[in-house]
A and B are shown apart, each in its own frame.
Chain A
Amino acid sequence: MLLAIITISLMAGFFGLVLGYASIRFRVEGNPIVDQIDSLLPQTQCGQCTYAGCRPYAEAIANGEAPINRCPPGGQTTIVALADLLDTEVLELNEELGEHLEVPLVAVIDEQTCIGCTLCIQACPVDAILGAARHMHTVIADECTGCKLCVPPCPVDCIDMVPERRTIDDWKWSPPIQAGSSDHAV
């Protein structure tokens, strides 16, 4: 009897120590599901979802505060991927927040009109605008996410959002069109 009590207590103590150590050593910082959701979002940082960037939206989804259909740049592909990850129902994109564009936009500064006020530089979430005070600014097109956040602050309205330039490398083979047969998936 006594032996059993001692053995169980020792084992409990030992496992307690192991668990205690593991909880410190293998501690996971933050919520891993947020990272997974964030990795599926397009990182435009546009705030069309009404959250202050992709990560805050990911956090809101993880906490169950926001539905998965609030990301216009990601479109239906992102919604399907999120539904897959979270094992929820696929929703239609909330079109009130904006429409999904097949070809993403990119900001272009009319360099003749730019007065060098730096307001757009401060607004750009990904540091894709280059310039200095009272000097011409320009957009690094490859880094621009097309979030449009630089457009409202511009005092001289010299920023245009244009469709991204498509090259021959962006061309995609289209799947064969099937006439006269029902398209059933596996």
Chain B
Amino acid sequence: MPSRLHRFHGGLHLDGHKQESLARGLEQATLPPQLVLPLRQHIGDYNKPLVEVGTRVLKGETIASSSSPICAALHASSSGIVSAIENRPIAHPSGQSDLCMVIDVDGKDEATPAQAVDPHRLSADDMLRRIGDAGIVGLGGAAFPTAPKLRRGRGNNVDTLIINGVECEPYITCDDMLMREYADEVVRGCGFLQRMVDPRATLIAIEDNKPEAVEAMKRALTAQPLAATEIVVIPTLYPSGGEKQLIQVLTGKEVPHGQLAFDIGLLCQNVGTCVAIARALDSGEPLISRIVTVSGDNVARPGNWEVRLGTPVAHLLELAGGYRHRDESYLIMGGPMMGFALSGDRVPIVKASNCILAMREETIPHTPGYHDECIRCGKCTEVCPASLLPQQLYWHARARAYDRSRDFHLFDCIECGCCSAVCPSRIPLVQYYRAAKSEIRAAQKAQFKSDRARARFEFREKRLLLKKQQDEERKRLKREALQKKRKLPTGEAAASDPVQAALARVKERKKAVQDETP
């Protein structure tokens, strides 16, 4: 239990804009006519489709999976006919398309028969397998498959389990709403997690700008008490919801460079993930829906909806009353600090989509394509929650001196956007860092490929050399064997010239022919 809270370097107090989407309670989104489910909605490998075009699938049926360890299966979010498996635009900063399964919804919402299993009888390994089968990924935004994360946590002696209900980014209220509505399930999921990783203490962290959620969670925890579990209310400061920052606030420990939370005996899980785990283990229900906040100053009726995965953003926006100003919409998936612009409203909601923001273009803080020069004021350094030197990173990223960027720990940047937000020259710093990171990753990929090619080339050279040597060896043995053979039968004949011997043989044959003819 933390005797006192700590704080991380920097951070920002931002306008919450949370009330807009909290004005009404949680609503269930209606089914869209068509669901578009990208085959990969997580960090890791692609799923392979398990059903063909034309197949009728039921709600909750596994429609794609993979044998890769870092993967989460995909399930049909409603019943219908698989009408296509093709490239469709997805929610990605590139605006590109990716392989999706398209389901024409039949509206019956018929589910696969539930497999009722008493979760208390399940062993930890069974629970992990079920979590993997249910396609659960971290719902806080990163979408890392939960089962492999928990497996690693189990192997690393988790001292403290941290349940993240912080949700520090402006506008986003989906976790707040989730804790208000499904506090019991959060606590149940938390109990399952405790059984799996056996922590000494569990901390449920919630920011102090969500008093209703704190109350709901306290009530749920009183109703079903858990051992050594405490709700910790932390001060509102962006980005306390980041895993590393939250760890620092709660424990005072910093996750060392190049390491992960397990390495210092901690495991973080989002509250939404807890609910998904509770549902998967209690009723065998896979991850087919999530709560999404729809907000922004260009939405008529902001709020939170429980949405089936694969629902197009356009359908969700219609439920939210549509745009206020249709012509000037600017769509963002995620929050205003860390989200990315969407290419359009045809893209589907995926496991990682926590928020859809429709903004008017004039309220977008940065005008793309223009920024002033850095005046070296150092404000970015003051607010950086990772204690980096954003200005140095900027110079090196801009000069494309990527080695230097790495020396300044570019990869410790969590892309929270604090530096860009305070920059008086309005430099889109995070975009520079993201570009530098992609260049470095591409170079690493190329290096990996060329190292492989070198290894294969050298192996081939070696193989060819070996073959040549073996051929020569074989020839030599053959030659020797031939010589021996000749030597063996008649000592004298073999010793004489082979040409003479051949001539003699020909003469003999001719003589024989002549003898026969007369």
Q: List the interface of chain A (C-beta within 8 A of B).
A: 38, 41-45, 53-54, 125-128, 143, 145, 168, 170-181, 183, 185-186
Contacts and interface: CB of A to CB of B under 8 A. Distances in A.
A41 B451 CA distance: 10
18 contacts: A42-B453, A44-B453, A126-B460, A127-B456, A127-B459, A143-B452, A145-B449, A145-B453, A168-B96, A171-B94, A171-B438, A172-B438, A173-B438, A175-B436, A179-B369, A180-B370, A185-B401, A186-B396
B93 interface: yes
Contacts of B372: 181
Contacts of B400: 185
A32 B467 CA distance: 28
A43 B454 CA distance: 6
Contacts of A125: 457, 460
Contacts of A128: 456
B391 to A, nearest CB: 11
Contacts of B368: 176-177
Given A41-B450, A43-B450, A181-B372, A176 B431 contact: yes
Interface of A is mostly: loop
Contacts, number: 89
Interface residues of B, number: 42
B16 to A, nearest CB: 28
Given A168-B92, A173-B431, A175-B397, A43 B373 contact: no
Interface string B394-420: 011111110000000000000000000
A42 B448 CA distance: 10
A53 B461 CA distance: 11
Contacts of B93: 171, 173
A177 to B, nearest CB: 5
B137 to A, nearest CB: 17
Nearest to B46: A167
Q: Which 3 A-B pairs have the closest CB atoms?
A: A172-B438, A185-B399, A43-B453
Contact of B399 (A143, A170, A181, A186): A186
B370 A178 contact: yes
B460 A127 contact: yes
Given A42-B446, A185-B398, A186-B395, A175 B456 contact: no
B122 to A, nearest CB: 35
A53 B456 CA distance: 13
B428 A176 contact: yes
A54 B427 CA distance: 42
Nearest to B460: A127
A89 B472 CA distance: 47
A174 B427 CA distance: 14
B96 A175 contact: no
B465 interface: no
Interface in B426-453: 427-428, 431-432, 434-439, 442, 446, 449-453
Which residue, of A41, A172, A176, has the highest number of chain B Cβ atoms within 10 A? A176
